[in-house]
Structure 1
Amino acid sequence: MKNHGMCLQNNDRELELEFRYNSSSFFRKSLRKLWQTIINYLVAHQELKVWQKMDRHGNIYWQAYDPVTGKSFMSGSESDMRAWIEQIYR
């Protein structure tokens, strides 16, 4: 019986160590995921944003905003939009 008791105690210790390792690993993974989310948020708020809109007459036009420079641009022409973007990044 004593041997079974010792064996059970050893198993309990192994389970306890395994639990500590798993919870530590979970904590590291959670922390890494949180950090990546923060980085993605910060980077996304510095990227050039370009979108299409439609006025009340059904005309489609382009708008862009660069949060780094604070500049914005609006045009009915996609080629004008491309030219403005190229000018910003030169």
Structure 2
Amino acid sequence: MTYPSYSAQKPSASVRPSIASSSWQLLKRSLVNFGKRAIAYFTQDREPIVSQRICANGQVVWTIHDPYTGQSTTCYSVAEVRAWLESRYSYRYNL
């Protein structure tokens, strides 16, 4: 009685490169995306954003957004804006 011989077959050469290639492409894409996010995080502007608008009653209003803390405030005079900015910088640098 003879038994058929079974041997472990290696995947064909045409299958292996496509799997390795797609894995490499996925890794490469992930690393590129990570690098882009890291650069964006470390180079983002952390200075306050001051915008000015005029209300319906004609009063000038300033809105300040601080990306560093995520806080926003509304001021009704240039003196208030200046005081807020000075307090922000004195608080950050006196820690």
TM class by shorter chain equals: 0.3 to 0.5
TM-score, normalised relative to structure 2: 0.46
Which structure has the larger Rg?
Answer: 2
Superposition TM-score, scaled by structure 1 size: 0.47
